[in-house]
Structure 1
Amino acid sequence: MAEDSFYHALKVDEKTCYGCTHCMNVCPTGAIRIRNGIASIRPDWCVDCGECMRACPVDAIFVEHDDFDRIFNYKCRVALVPAVLIGQFPAKVTEAEIFSVMRELGFTHVFQTEHTAGIIRKAMVETAREAEEKPSISSFCPAIVRLVQIKFPSLLDQVLNIKPPIDASAVYFRKRLEDEGIPSEDIGIFYVTPCAAKIAAVKSPVGEEQSPLDGVIDMRFIYNKIYRLIKSRHNSSSVSPGEMLPLLSPGSIKYSLTEGEASRMEGRCLAIDGIHNVIEFLEKLENDELGNVDFLELRACDQSCAGGVLVGGNRFLTTERLNKRAKRFEGVADIPGDIKAYTHFMNHNMDIGILEPRSMMALDEDMGEAMRKMQQVRHLMCFLPGIDCGACGAPNCQSLAEDIVRRESQLSACVFIQRMMEKHSKLSGEHALKIIEKVWGKNRLDKNCNKKGAEDEAGG
């Protein structure tokens, strides 16, 4: 995919969306506008964090993932499974049952994503130790990497250029299967994803020309298929154990949870989850308000991957189950023996390319012109009411002012400005209605007792 474009997994179902503004109000980058009564996601600002999907009351925002039947395009069908999938099942459901059912569904191999976490952590410690600028920032969460590219490009040099487990494990397992005599073109590696950002990271990888994965599957889809089959069995003895997978260390099991990285790094390390918390923290870092911090683990979702938008189970229960699972494997080596045998190969395939800034939120590429436009924004803010009601189709007055400077909107989009213009005979009521219809659609102000909360709401 072209370097100047982002693939996005989040889509809007225009037939279902009714422009409630919930998504617009929670978007951390202000990427959503309401046009003609429907939410529109600005692709160059979206980081695929999934906050909009979480907030939508009618499920009008969905994730586009690969068709499951795509796995059958390959003779060797590999499922790359993160620990949070296991954490969604009740304790009575064993890993052996889960992986056995996945083979029944069509996968020839099932591997655990965190298998390479130990060697990644070792590389991160060494790289962070030599870093000139502190704190070093983890590259684990693709939504955060995109956020830094778009909103905090001055901090890009502090992001560790090391592959996250999803990529490192795909590279490792492909090499291992090739060494077993399987042609590379026959191997299809599919990641079971807990979030939209990882779909986008596979389809449009940052710092690399091509992802080592061949597809991504919605975790909710796989979880439902697995659990339905397991519950249909009368007892676990009816499940064939299949190939035993190597055990993960406690640190690897908890790697995708909050503090999964920070707890094992050197120096003063902080773990921040929740994308709005991350933005607040990065603003402090960019303004030099923080000192004496060596490493930052930043995750877009509350409770990290356990809180991913495609994780069907409760994030707190998932975290609890993984912590309990980790306690059962005390003493397991952090770097498995099979990984150690490939140390040389992994050390030469651990880095990602240079992360390029994508300051698409800037008002202009030219610094002088951007400053001039910012002054225009400040001038417009003198007239806008600062109520941040969203009635103009933008999340707040500041965003509307910026849209006007970009020639994507006009001052009369503000309903309060409209009233003032009508008062001074600069705008007719008919023209004001047309402006409102452009944002909210033609029939939005008509009586409708079927809408959410109204007396004839469906199911009400």
Structure 2
Amino acid sequence: MANDQFYHALKVDESLCYGCTHCMNVCPTGAIRIRNGKASIRKNWCVDCGDCMKVCPVNAFYVEQDDFDKIYDYKYRVALVPAVMIGQFPSNISESQIFSVMRELGFTHVFQTEHTVDIINDAMIEAARKQSEKPLISSFCPAVVRLIQVKFPALVDQILLVKPPIDASAIFFRKKLQDEGIPDEEIGIFFVTPCAAKIAAVKSPVGETKSPVNGVINMDFMYNKVYHGIKNRSGSGVRSPGENLPNLGPKHIKWTLTNGEAPHMRGRCLAIDEIHNVIDILEKVENDEIPDLDFLELRACDESCAGGVLVVGNRFLTVERLRKRAELFKDIHGIPEDLASYVDFMKTRLPLKPLDPRSMLKLDEDMSVALRKMQQVRKLMCYLPGIDCGACGAPNCLSLAQDIVQKEAQLSSCVFIQRTMEKHKKLHSDHAIRIIDKVWGKDRLDKDCTKLGAKDEGT
């Protein structure tokens, strides 16, 4: 992966997309444009939050995952399972049933990701003690980390440089197997992901040169496989190697939910979920509007990981199940015995390298050129109507002005400017139609009764 480009897991199926602009209008970083009648994602702006996927009326967005057969590239195949995966299943289905079916599907080991939470929490508190600039921001959610890099670059240094559970658990389990005499090249670790952002974090990690995770499997795919397997087998199953650690305690179970980290940090802490709420808070932090704040737990999805785009169940029911489970195991605390002997090893592996700001607002690497372009943008805004209708294929007039300066669009892309130019005979009507065709696709304005909402929809 080139250092100057983010990997992103969200893709567009152009055979389904018809350029409705729903995705463009909700994208928190303005990463989507409509070109030739199809949604187009700007890779370096996208943070893989999945909002586009949630609002698409024709399911044109999908999340790219590794081929499941990739697990067979390794003799020892480890599934890292987050607590939110367990929360998808009815309460009468146990972890033992889930894990034994996963072993039948091909995994040799299954490990619950949040077992490393206590070690991570201690590392976060220690890192926070050494860092003076506040508030500090959790690195748990990769979509939020990328959001800060591209939209709030001035706050990058306030991200706590501590690896999240997915990385910590992969590091631990790999070391555990190596200590049992297994060669590293025979170990494959795969994370069952509830969201696209964690896939991107594995494929193009920030704060480290290479992810300790070998691959990702979408949670909706794994849930369907496991649930079908449970329904078509008898007996409760036997736990496979790596499943013999105690059940997760309440702190571990709730770590991936909203308000999972904040209660365990020191000082004044806030927990915010849903990416537009996160942006609102980050704007206030950037403007010094929230004094005496020590720590921010920020999650891109509503209800945190329970609201991930790859989660099958209703997010509120998932949260309810997990909270009930946390209450059931309220007496479980501390680090499991198998993990306790690795605490010192883990402490040396948890720090992240400093993160780089990657501002999407930067118009040029040369500061003098960037300032000149900024003046051009401001001048263009004098002519654009400020209606933010999206008919130009950009989310708003300011985005169009920036696209024009970057030579990715023209002033005549604005339909209102087109009419003015036609009025003053500076643009022929045939040329105006060609401009519309370039953005929205040829013959887009022709009568079509089969489109969504029309009388012959879908025929």
Query: What is the TM-score with the length of structure 2 in the denominator?
Result: 0.97
Which residue is 2:319 aligned to?
Answer: 319
Matched, 1:50 2:11: no
Query: Do the aligned residues in 1 keep the contact of 2:421 with 2:427 (CA within 8 Å)?
Result: yes
Matched, 1:192 2:192: yes
Q: Which amino acid aligns with 1:163?
A: K
Matched, 1:286 2:290: no
Which residue is 2:63 aligned to?
Answer: 63
The 5 A counterparts of 1:407-446 are 407-446=407-446
Which residue is 1:257 aligned to?
Answer: 257
Whole-angstrom CA distance in 2 between matches of 1:296 and 1:249: 23
Query: Do the aligned residues in 2 keep the contact of 1:362 with 1:370 (CA within 8 Å)?
Result: yes
Whole-angstrom CA distance in 2 between matches of 1:45 and 1:62: 18
The 5 A counterparts of 1:164-203 are 164-203=164-203
Q: Which amino acid aligns with 1:80?
A: L
Matched, 1:217 2:207: no
Whole-angstrom CA distance in 1 between matches of 2:319 and 2:347: 31
Which residue is 1:239 aligned to?
Answer: 237
Shift of 1:331: 2.1
Which residue is 2:28 aligned to?
Answer: 28
Structure 1 alignment gaps of length 5 or more: none
Whole-angstrom CA distance in 2 between matches of 1:357 and 1:289: 22
SS of corresponding position for 2:349: coil
Whole-angstrom CA distance in 1 between matches of 2:368 and 2:332: 57
User: Once structures 1 and 2 are overlaid, which stretch shifts more, 179-188 or 352-361?
Assistant: 352-361
Which residue is 1:85 aligned to?
Answer: 85
Whole-angstrom CA distance in 1 between matches of 2:383 and 2:5: 35
Shift of 1:426: 0.9
Which residue is 1:75 aligned to?
Answer: 75
Percent identity for Structure 1 against Structure 2: 69
User: Once structures 1 and 2 are overlaid, which stretch shifts more, 64-73 or 368-377?
Assistant: 368-377
Q: Which amino acid aligns with 1:46?
A: C
The Cα offsets for residues 47-90 of structure 1, whole Å up to 9 and x where unpaired, read as: 11111111111111111100101101111000000000000111
Whole-angstrom CA distance in 2 between matches of 1:313 and 1:378: 46
Shift of 1:182: 1.1
- How much is the aligned-residue C-alpha RMSD, in angstroms? 1.2
Residue 418 and residue 198 in structure 1: after superposition, are their counterparts in 2 closer, same or farther (change >3 A)?
same
Which residue is 1:359 aligned to?
Answer: 359
Which residue is 1:12 aligned to?
Answer: 12
Whole-angstrom CA distance in 1 between matches of 2:204 and 2:456: 44
Which residue is 1:41 aligned to?
Answer: 41
Whole-angstrom CA distance in 1 between matches of 2:42 and 2:335: 42
Query: Do the aligned residues in 2 keep the contact of 1:251 with 1:334 (CA within 8 Å)?
Result: no
Query: Do the aligned residues in 1 keep the contact of 2:97 with 2:236 (CA within 8 Å)?
Result: no
Which residue is 2:340 aligned to?
Answer: 340
The Cα offsets for residues 291-348 of structure 1, whole Å up to 9 and x where unpaired, read as: 1000000111010000001101111111111111011111212322222211110011
User: Post-superposition, which runs of at least 4 consecutive aligned residues in structure 1 deviate over 6 A?
Assistant: none
Shift of 1:450: 0.8
Whole-angstrom CA distance in 1 between matches of 2:236 and 2:86: 20
Query: Do the aligned residues in 2 keep the contact of 1:77 with 1:188 (CA within 8 Å)?
Result: yes
Which residue is 1:453 aligned to?
Answer: 453
Q: Which amino acid aligns with 1:239?
A: G
The 5 A counterparts of 1:303-318 are 303-318=303-318
Shift of 1:130: 2.1
Structure 2 alignment gaps of length 5 or more: none
Whole-angstrom CA distance in 2 between matches of 1:132 and 1:217: 38
Query: Do the aligned residues in 1 keep the contact of 2:96 with 2:236 (CA within 8 Å)?
Result: no
User: Once structures 1 and 2 are overlaid, which stretch shifts more, 323-332 or 218-227?
Assistant: 323-332
Whole-angstrom CA distance in 1 between matches of 2:102 and 2:22: 37
Whole-angstrom CA distance in 1 between matches of 2:334 and 2:434: 64
The 5 A counterparts of 1:388-407 are 388-407=388-407
The 5 A counterparts of 1:372-387 are 372-387=372-387
Q: Which amino acid aligns with 1:240?
A: V
Query: Do the aligned residues in 1 keep the contact of 2:245 with 2:336 (CA within 8 Å)?
Result: no
Query: Do the aligned residues in 1 keep the contact of 2:80 with 2:190 (CA within 8 Å)?
Result: yes
The Cα offsets for residues 167-191 of structure 1, whole Å up to 9 and x where unpaired, read as: 0000000000111111111110000
The Cα offsets for residues 82-114 of structure 1, whole Å up to 9 and x where unpaired, read as: 000000111111111111110110100000010
The 5 A counterparts of 1:133-148 are 133-148=133-148
User: Once structures 1 and 2 are overlaid, which stretch shifts more, 325-334 or 405-414?
Assistant: 325-334
Whole-angstrom CA distance in 1 between matches of 2:336 and 2:99: 19
SS of corresponding position for 1:430: helix
The Cα offsets for residues 332-383 of structure 1, whole Å up to 9 and x where unpaired, read as: 1232222221111001101111111112331122333323222221221121
Query: Do the aligned residues in 2 keep the contact of 1:31 with 1:41 (CA within 8 Å)?
Result: yes
Query: Do the aligned residues in 2 keep the contact of 1:404 with 1:411 (CA within 8 Å)?
Result: yes
Q: Which amino acid aligns with 1:244?
A: N
User: Once structures 1 and 2 are overlaid, which stretch shifts more, 424-433 or 2-11?
Assistant: 2-11
Which residue is 1:300 aligned to?
Answer: 300
Shift of 1:241: 4.4
Q: Which amino acid aligns with 2:116?
A: T
Q: Which amino acid aligns with 1:337?
A: E
Which residue is 1:118 aligned to?
Answer: 118
SS of corresponding position for 2:191: strand
SS of corresponding position for 2:319: helix
Q: Which amino acid aligns with 1:208?
A: E
Q: Which amino acid aligns with 2:271?
A: A
Whole-angstrom CA distance in 2 between matches of 1:453 and 1:152: 39
Query: What is the TM-score with the length of structure 1 in the denominator?
Result: 0.97
Q: Which amino acid aligns with 1:155?
A: L
Query: Do the aligned residues in 1 keep the contact of 2:21 with 2:390 (CA within 8 Å)?
Result: yes
Query: Do the aligned residues in 2 keep the contact of 1:272 with 1:298 (CA within 8 Å)?
Result: yes
Whole-angstrom CA distance in 2 between matches of 1:101 and 1:327: 26
